[in-house]
Structure 1
Amino acid sequence: MFPADVFESAKRIIERLRVQNRMLTTAESCTGGLIASAITAVPGSSDVFFGGFVTYSNDAKMQMIGVDSELLKQHGAVSEAVAHAMADGAVRTSGADLAVSVTGIAGPGGGTAHKPVGLVYIGIASVFDAPRVERHMFGDAGRDEVRLASLRAALRLLEEAAQ
């Protein structure tokens, strides 16, 4: 179902987390559950995957994982601050050890001069390490391409966090 590189990355993440006895969760907006789907494509992922939150709307971000409404108003959903809050909220809500969050503008519309199509923030929160957020500019490459690039970047960050 997924490209071989995506499946192999997900497999490495599962193996590393299993050895460390750690649990993972996801908080996804523009990827709509792709990260959770890639992780659960690996047999045995239930050993380390708590589950995921698809928090597409601002209301979902607030209600499901506790993102502060003032943070959303001040920075907008597509921001470093919200990516951080999403990952942190997913860890707090789930009790997992590690979370990845994704928020961005996949297109084809919705972009602005300050937040163009292809802008994506990916956050990592862990009970063991300092939080981290990366900003990506994937460009107006098409909705599927932006989402796939976001998935690959999120899996890379998870691999790094699971070392």
Structure 2
Amino acid sequence: MVDYEDAIRLAQQLGEELDKRAWRVTSAESCTGGAIAAAITSIAGASNWFDGAVVSYANRIKHSVLGVDARDLKQFGAVSEPVARQMACGVLAMMDANLSVAVSGIAGPDGGTDEKPVGTVWIAWAHAEGQEPVQIDARCFLFEGDRAEVQAQTVIEAIKGMLTILDEHPV
């Protein structure tokens, strides 16, 4: 069982690192339903580095709010690298943040296929500072456990990825 308190500890560390850099963070979440934003805002002072997030559970929200290409949604599905990347870029621009994370996956217990079994989650991170072009990284995970465990693991890996990006941008 994944300890959600790990996510809170990581969110605390994330807030400290964002504060040092005067960076702002945001998230676009599907399978986690806002749990990343909840972890971030559980930290006192989160308003210093967090303005908001988008829970884009439905494909129409991914398309209409985050700007995900409808053709990519149809061709690759919501749980795919192109969609996660576009979600990360869309929310980064929308929230005028320096760092974003986007997650789209199959938390279960239903919805899995042979190609994309339950526990498949794409996470994408986008970041930009000043006039630098947006940098995007994405990774596919296959988490084990029940729905809550898949969601908790997703939150933890999403925050870990943001911390890695911050480590690459020293104060």
* Interval containing the TM-score (normalised by the shorter chain): over 0.9
Deviation string, structure 1 residues 102-149 (Cα, Å, up to 9, x no partner): 00000000011101100001000011462100110113x211111011
1:77 aligns with 2:78: yes
> What is the rounded CA distance, in whole Å, between the counterparts of 2:146 and 2:58 in structure 1?
21
Q: TM-score, normalised by structure 2?
A: 0.91
Q: Secondary structure at the match of 2:52?
A: strand
Count of aligned pairs between the two proteins: 161
User: Displacement, 1:74?
Assistant: 1.2
Cα distance in 2 for partners of 1:104, 1:90 equals 17
SS in 2 for 1:131: strand
Q: TM-score, normalised by structure 1?
A: 0.95
Gap runs ≥5 in structure 2:
none
Q: Are the aligned partners of 2:26 and 2:100 in contact in 1 as well (CA < 8 Å)?
A: yes
What aligned pairs does 1:1-163 form with structure 2 within 5 A after superposition? Answer: 3-128=4-129, 130-139=135-144, 141-163=145-167
RMSD value, Cα: 1.2
Q: Separation in 2 of the partners of 1:156 and 1:59?
A: 29
Aligned partners of 1:6 and 1:78: how far apart in 2? Answer: 22
Is the contact between residue 14 and residue 162 of structure 2 (CA under 8 Å) also seen in structure 1? yes
Name stretches of at least 5 consecutive residues in structure 1 with no aligned partner.
none
Q: Give identity over the alignment, percent.
A: 40
Q: Which moved more, 1:141-150 or 1:32-41?
A: 141-150
